[in-house]
Amino acid sequence: MKRALVTSVFFLSSILIGFSQELIRQVVASSGNEATVGYSIFQYTIGEPIVATLSVGNLLLTQGFEQPEVAGPTKAPEAPFVSDLIVYPNPASDQVNLEFDLRQDGRVVFMLVNNAGQVVFSKAIQMLSGRLTYTLSLSRYASGLYYIVIKTGYRTYTEKLIIQ
């Protein structure tokens, strides 16, 4: 009886231990790195000369050291977007008008960036869809080359602006 109990306990514990193992992704390569740019993560390894990705219908085959863990979304989430952006007058001195079509209600961020890449003005506004005009006062900015940046959701639109 004692021997049967010991054998049963050993058998059950070996089954439970067998199911608790974990396989972790790892790669053996001569070099590699990871970088994040916006909403994308780029990983690479050095040491394999040929890497290919093949797809047929819904099937995807990737070859190489690094394989993706999870395929991300197939398209960006729905977000308002801008079309027909017009910046006038350009060059400008006192104020500039940004005229555009907003295709969907949403949050719009307006930015003015100087030639050194510094954001000198930023304002977020919740706007309704339609043909819109936003007027930006330029009286407190020095003359020079600037960039008008409009952000809506995952999209960014940029136009050059010369302030005289």
In this prediction, residue 147 has a pLDDT band, given cuts at 50, 70 and 90, of: very high
Residue 115 has pLDDT above 80, yes or no: yes
Of the chain, the end-to-end C-alpha distance in Å amounts to: 98
pLDDT of res. 126: 94
Residue type, 8: S
pLDDT value at residue 141: 94
Q: Which two tokens stand for residue 126?
A: 């919740």
The stretch 37-57 carries a mean pLDDT of: 68
| Percent of the chain residues past pLDDT 70, beyond the cut | 63
Fold designation for 82-163 = Immunoglobulin-like (2.60.40)
**Dist CA 84 CA 116 (whole Å):** 27
Query: What tokens does 148 get?
Result: 């008008």
Residue 12: phi, psi to the nearest 5?
Answer: -65, -40
pLDDT score at 15: 61
DSSP output for 60-84: EEE-SS---SS---SSPPP---EEE
pLDDT at 157 over 60: yes
Residue 4: phi, psi to the nearest 5?
-65, -40
11/20 Cα distance (integer angstroms): 15
Task: Map out the domains of the chain as residue ranges.
Answer: 30-72, 82-163
**pLDDT range class, residue 83, cuts 50, 70, 90:** confident
The pLDDT confidence band at residue 79, using thresholds 50, 70 and 90, is low
Encoded amino acid at 7, one letter: T
- Whether the Cβ atoms of residue 86 and residue 161 lie closer than 8 Å to each other: no
The vertex-73 CA angle with 70 and 156, nearest 5°, equals 130
pLDDT at 63: 63
104 or 53: which leads in pLDDT: 104
